[in-house]
Structure 1
Amino acid sequence: MASGPGGHAPLSNQKSIPWECSRTKKLQVTEEELFYMNCRAAYLTVFKSSLENIMSRDQLCIALQKAGRNPSQKTIDKYWTPQTAKLNFDDFCAILKKEKPTSKSELLKAFKKIDVNNDGYILHTDLYKILTKRGDKMTPEELSAILNLADVNVDGKLDYNKFCKLYVTTNEQCLKTALEKLEIDSKMRLQQLGSHLEGSPESAISPIAKPSLRIPRNIDQETMLNRGDGRNSSLPLPARKYKTSVSFNISMGANSCRNSKLLEPNSLKEWQCAQSKGCFFLEENGEIISHQYKVHLSQRSSVYLTIRPLNLSQEEGSPSPWLSVDTALYLFKENEGQANLQLMCFTELRNRELYGWSGELGSGLYYLIPFTTGCWLKKEKKHITEEAMLVGRGEKGELFLTKKFRSALSDIFDIIDLDGNDLLSLDEYNFFELRTSGEKCDEDAWAICKENFDTKKNELTRQGFMDLNLMEASDREGDPSDLWVTLHSMGFNKALEMVEACPFIIDIHAEKCRPRIKAVHMGSGTGHFEKAICKSVISKGDVKTMDHENIFLHTYKSDFRITTVLENKSEKKVIIHVNNELSKNCLNNRGLNIFAVEVAPKSTMVCQHVVPMNERQEWVYNCVYSLVS
């Protein structure tokens, strides 16, 4: 149910320990900021810019080695699956949070396992047999690189104490050199860029650093897991020189978001309806994923499509934090023989927490992708001083689930019960399993589950779900570690508050036929989805031109959201500096007032989404976009 170290569930809130290094300049930065600065320095030993992507397994391996990691083949396989096409800088940071650096003590422990004489030396012949024939094998060339180091080899033996010291020193020097280069290079400082997700510091010049030594990988890789979360704020951007600048100034009245423009069709009660629940989940790297759906209409019909946050049972006087999260739906038509899905519509209207669209759709199969800007659903910064109790013991020593934990589990049950029948089918349960452990429950395991826990109509009841979690706690003799992995993956913090997830409910009404909706996937909807957002903004928004009609800024405004898309028609990449400091009562998805983005040649990208911080007050979007020289 809960994942172990090798799973894909979100990680705990333990902070990563930053690499120790000397600084050429005294900066008052947080531990979190230092971690991301270190990440960027390591990344830039491999790539010219941290906006470049990792495009292969080899690049991932090299980048991790530059960061002082010791990735085994198993580790690389975990992050570069057959479905992986690329990883970005944010993904790299997330990996480094999970895979902690190998310490000198860990290396010595690994070497001592093969030092049969316990004399501090290992024969080259023995080392060759072990490291090229067993476990995660090294190539002869890789081993030769170690054996050719004069300072640690003598008379056909490896002095592994000296090697471990050399390895640690080399890693520290590698990072120190990269950081020093990063801080003294004025051009580099001018190009600290906000990331595509939350504005991590960026750079565009590659520093030169000593290569990291590769060490034997036949050690226990489970000790490499370092769980952590959190994102940093970008350091202040220095003064820049700009080719040109354009600005947008949009004033929105108080309560503009409450305008009841979304009106139900008069005869809606007579229409047929299909409903499904789902949830947005915030990943460790800041990405937001959700359930995605297929919708089928048997004939052409008028349709009323809505999405709203799901109001779960909450303590009195404690409003659900996710009810303020903005939501939307994008509907695509599946056209046979076409590689790209066709965007049909998206929800542009709103009535309080309900976002919707109404119109006419033809018969056929559609893809429905939920969306949220990320302005409100962000990594939690609240510090939890006391961890909630999940289990307790009765007078006779028997385990029980605490009242607060049972309440959280009941909310989780309501979220994963997609069809709302108060039972969990195998398909519904597997969405939960994939989210919390990365693996599906097969038919045999499901049969065993039904034999041991309360079911109805071959589906798991709420009580059965509770008992399943109690059994997991019992199997661990009351250790709640795995239960916490499940809770974190479902968006709960240590106080059992759901702060990094937003459950929602979708309704589809059709006038002339019964619509069908089925959750088919859990993901971010990237690729064609990103293109669809850009296309919708370009087609409906206002446009301003920069740099001789090569660079275009498209701004789409609704009563409750402003979205800007950057379009680069030139043959070279461009860097756009964005300044929101004059905006009032506004919140953007990047969490920064000042940041910069890099737009690839002949491409478009979403620059930012902006929503009002307080909907009862006037909000003013005043943003200056400048082309960096």
Structure 2
Amino acid sequence: MASESPRAKKSEEETFYVNCRAAYLTVFKSSLENIKSKEQLCLVLQQAGRNPSQKTVNKYWTPQTTALNFDDFCVILKKEKPATKPDLLQAFIKLDKNNEGTILHTELHKILTTRGEKMTADEVNAITKLADVNSGGKLDYKKFCNIYMATNEQCCKTALEKLEVDTRVLRQQFGSQVEISTEGATSPISKPSPRTARKTDHKATPRRGENRTSSRPSSAQGCKASISSTMSMGASSNKNSKLIEPNTVKEWQCAQSKGCFYLEEDGTIISHRYRMHLLQKSTVCITIKPLSLSQLEGKPSPWLSVDTALYVLKENESQENLQLVGLTDQQNKEMYGWKGELGSGFYWLLPFTTGCRLKKVKKQITREVKLVYRGEDGELGLTKEFRTALSNIFEVIDLDGNGLLSLDEYNFFELRTSGEKCDEEAWAICKENFDTKKNELTRQGFMDLNLMEANDREGDPSDLWVTLLSLGFNKALEMTEACPFVIDIYAEKCKPRIKPVHLEANSGQLNRAICKSVVNQGEAKVMDGCESIIVHTYRSEARITSVIENKSENKMIIHVNNEQSKNCINNRGLNIFAVEVAPKSMMVCQHVMPLNEQEEWIYNCTHSLLL
């Protein structure tokens, strides 16, 4: 059967985002408005044809969440797939032991409030009170399924009809970067990235087209103001004499931590976040680079070409009040570093990658690697290839590099793969059954834990594959959708301390840091014909980043055209796109890097204000 064409995949993704916007704009006046309560989140999900339980809502609206933006909403919709009628019927049929087409309210209440994704009593009561599908204390689930599907379809249809009133908005392709207020307004508190549960299937989301978009924004020809930037960049030498070599500071005291960039199904990148403590004022050298791991013979390490960076922010009074003090933009081969003097106190280290070289991979895997086998005695064992992958995983999640897994380190692994933490009681059981040392899990213990999981499933590797896929591996056991990294901190006068704190997507703090660094170090150009729009462009040896600043009182829509660039890739995966910039705010427009580092690359971008 012929594979799906790139154009068809692109059309599917465009349709998805149109449906997202349609649902969002039935509740909010603009996609720039934030969801500010659980009730709003539930309502906008319902407009998108979902019927979320309270547990589902709580999964995305945690006690730390103060707001969700349109991008967050799109991520949630990709994870929470709409129920199909066959799925619903099949679920009810399993409960209908007598095959009568009905289920007793008492039985329905008992099952829905105690099993699976538990519903509240009020949610179940809302179902049993529907007059058209209930009688005699029973639910006619076939009628209920028909009404449920019809209601969902009507919600989606109504949302699309409302959006189609404004065809100009319908045809635009909007950006997906967070807007940063230029007036110092506080952005929403960052939240942990919701993870897909271990027992669910991972389905790759088609990546956006790598060349020009299939249909440029219709109003691109109606531009009343524009600005162009052209930069010619030589082939990368991967050298910068400004970066101090770590071996020249070998007498300094050092701290190290590892981490990883993980690529989500929707293209979002999440990573570890760190808190650093300096006991006294000191000259400090901080570096970050991809982590080198042992690979199977003949298999490349694609993540070694992924760009890495680290933003250093000073904590003032609170963890929400952070001040940018440094960026690792000095390069030495694959290492990026920063050197400067820091006062005593706490700092946050926010790893960052542009996403230009860490994207969804379309490569077709022709052979699925075996994970387990049965010996002559019938006992299960782990294959050599799987053991190598597990050893690499152990290296990545052993954040302090001591060859053992603490409970905190293991919980980062659990949050990534299953979305849940291991509590003290479960950890105690784990230590009783698997090899430990100094109260921490050994490499062998980690291997045996995975073998036990395979035995629990009687050799079925499905759960093992879910774990591997969530950690960036494909079915050939190549790590193609993750980039492990290592951070080294050298301090001249004191022992630095570093602790991983979160595993999350780009936060408001990080986006503010990116904008500030570009504005402080980049070139600013006022848009011809519109003085309220300023395009800031920052170039380093490794990448170019542009930030759009809107000083006006009105929302602006900016058309971005990269078609004249040569040997370039950008993080959006589109050569032509449009972005909304909120009033009195700035936002990251795009990151651009060379497609081939050994050749010259030319950045040529035109930003135009749409009518």
CA apart distance, 1:283: 2.1
Q: Structure 1 residues 619 and 445 mapped into 2: Cα distance closer, same or farther (>3 Å)?
A: same
SS in 2 for 1:549: strand
Q: Which amino acid aligns with 1:347?
A: T
CA apart distance, 1:544: 1.0
1:236 and 2:202 are equivalent in the alignment: no
Match of 2:418 among 437, 441, 453: 437
Distance in 2, matches of 1:84 and 1:432, equals 22
Q: Structure 1 residues 384 and 96 mapped into 2: Cα distance closer, same or farther (>3 Å)?
A: farther
Q: Structure 1 residues 450 and 178 mapped into 2: Cα distance closer, same or farther (>3 Å)?
A: closer
CA apart distance, 1:620: 0.6
Is residue 207–residue 267 contact of structure 2 (8 Å, CA) maintained in 1?
Answer: no
Distance in 2, matches of 1:139 and 1:399, equals 44
CA apart distance, 1:92: 3.0
Tell me the equivalent position of 1:68. Answer: 49
Is residue 217–residue 578 contact of structure 2 (8 Å, CA) maintained in 1?
Answer: no
Q: Which amino acid aligns with 2:437?
A: K
Q: Which amino acid aligns with 1:627?
A: L
Tell me the equivalent position of 1:569. Answer: 551
CA apart distance, 1:32: 4.5
Task: Please list the CA deviations of residues 241-294 of structure 1 after superposition, one character each: whole Å capped at 9, or x if unmatched.
Answer: 122000111111122544554243784232222222111112233222222222
1:361 and 2:342 are equivalent in the alignment: yes
Distance in 2, matches of 1:621 and 1:29, equals 25
Segment drifting more, 130-139 vs 433-442:
130-139
Tell me the equivalent position of 1:136. Answer: 120
Matches within 5 A, 1:3-82: 30-82=11-63
Q: Structure 1 residues 143 and 534 mapped into 2: Cα distance closer, same or farther (>3 Å)?
A: same
Distance in 1, matches of 2:13 and 2:459, equals 33
Q: Which amino acid aligns with 1:272?
A: Q
CA apart distance, 1:573: 1.4
Segment drifting more, 306-315 vs 279-288:
279-288
Match of 2:484 among 467, 478, 503: 503
CA apart distance, 1:96: 3.0
Q: Which amino acid aligns with 2:458?
A: E
State the identity as a percent. 66
Is residue 261–residue 351 contact of structure 1 (8 Å, CA) maintained in 2?
Answer: no
Distance in 2, matches of 1:362 and 1:523, equals 27
Task: Please list the CA deviations of residues 386-444 of structure 1 after superposition, one character each: whole Å capped at 9, or x if unmatched.
Answer: 32211111111100011111010000011111222222222222222222222333333
SS in 1 for 2:121: coil
SS in 1 for 2:531: coil
Matches within 5 A, 1:185-196: 186-196=167-177
CA apart distance, 1:88: 3.3
Distance in 2, matches of 1:501 and 1:480, equals 21
Tell me the equivalent position of 2:406. Answer: 425
Distance in 1, matches of 2:95 and 2:460, equals 34
Distance in 1, matches of 2:85 and 2:513, equals 50
Tell me the equivalent position of 1:400. Answer: 381
Distance in 2, matches of 1:239 and 1:325, equals 34
Distance in 2, matches of 1:336 and 1:420, equals 31
Tell me the equivalent position of 1:270. Answer: 251
Count residues in correspondence: 577
Tell me the equivalent position of 2:226. Answer: 245
Tell me the equivalent position of 1:585. Answer: 567
Task: Please list the CA deviations of residues 69-126 of structure 1 after superposition, one character each: whole Å capped at 9, or x if unmatched.
Answer: 2222222222222222233334333333333333334545666789899776799x99
Q: Which amino acid aligns with 2:57?
A: I
Q: Which amino acid aligns with 2:550?
A: N
Q: Structure 1 residues 580 and 465 mapped into 2: Cα distance closer, same or farther (>3 Å)?
A: same
Segment drifting more, 264-273 vs 409-418:
264-273
Q: Which amino acid aligns with 1:228?
A: K
Segment drifting more, 90-99 vs 385-394:
90-99
Segment drifting more, 93-102 vs 567-576:
93-102
Match of 1:94 among 75, 88, 108: 75
Task: Please list the CA deviations of residues 31-63 of structure 1 after superposition, one character each: whole Å capped at 9, or x if unmatched.
Answer: 454444444444443344444433322222222
Q: Which amino acid aligns with 2:579?
A: V
Task: Please list the CA deviations of residues 495-533 of structure 1 after superposition, one character each: whole Å capped at 9, or x if unmatched.
Answer: 211111111111111222222222222223512221121
Distance in 1, matches of 2:348 and 2:609, equals 37
Distance in 1, matches of 2:448 and 2:99, equals 51
Is residue 100–residue 226 contact of structure 1 (8 Å, CA) maintained in 2?
Answer: no
1:388 and 2:363 are equivalent in the alignment: no
Task: Please list the CA deviations of residues 142-191 of structure 1 after superposition, one character each: whole Å capped at 9, or x if unmatched.
Answer: 569943x6xx7999998664553344344335434555665685323443
Gaps of 5+ in 1: 1-14, 16-25, 198-221
Matches within 5 A, 1:150-299: 161-176=142-157, 178-179=159-160, 186-196=167-177, 227-233=202-208, 235-240=214-219, 241-264=222-245, 267-299=248-280
Is residue 545–residue 592 contact of structure 2 (8 Å, CA) maintained in 1?
Answer: yes
Tell me the equivalent position of 2:186. Answer: none
1:320 and 2:310 are equivalent in the alignment: no
Normalising by structure 1, we get a TM-score of 0.82
Distance in 1, matches of 2:96 and 2:452, equals 43
Gaps of 5+ in 2: 179-196
Distance in 2, matches of 1:462 and 1:419, equals 14
Q: Structure 1 residues 117 and 293 mapped into 2: Cα distance closer, same or farther (>3 Å)?
A: closer
Match of 2:586 among 584, 589, 604: 604
Matches within 5 A, 1:93-132: 93-108=74-89
1:468 and 2:443 are equivalent in the alignment: no
Q: Structure 1 residues 511 and 52 mapped into 2: Cα distance closer, same or farther (>3 Å)?
A: same
RMSD of aligned C-alpha atoms?
3.5
Distance in 1, matches of 2:508 and 2:10, equals 36
SS in 1 for 2:26: coil
Is residue 128–residue 134 contact of structure 2 (8 Å, CA) maintained in 1?
Answer: no
Is residue 329–residue 369 contact of structure 1 (8 Å, CA) maintained in 2?
Answer: yes
Q: Which amino acid aligns with 2:578?
A: A
Q: Which amino acid aligns with 1:282?
A: L
Q: Which amino acid aligns with 1:437?
A: S
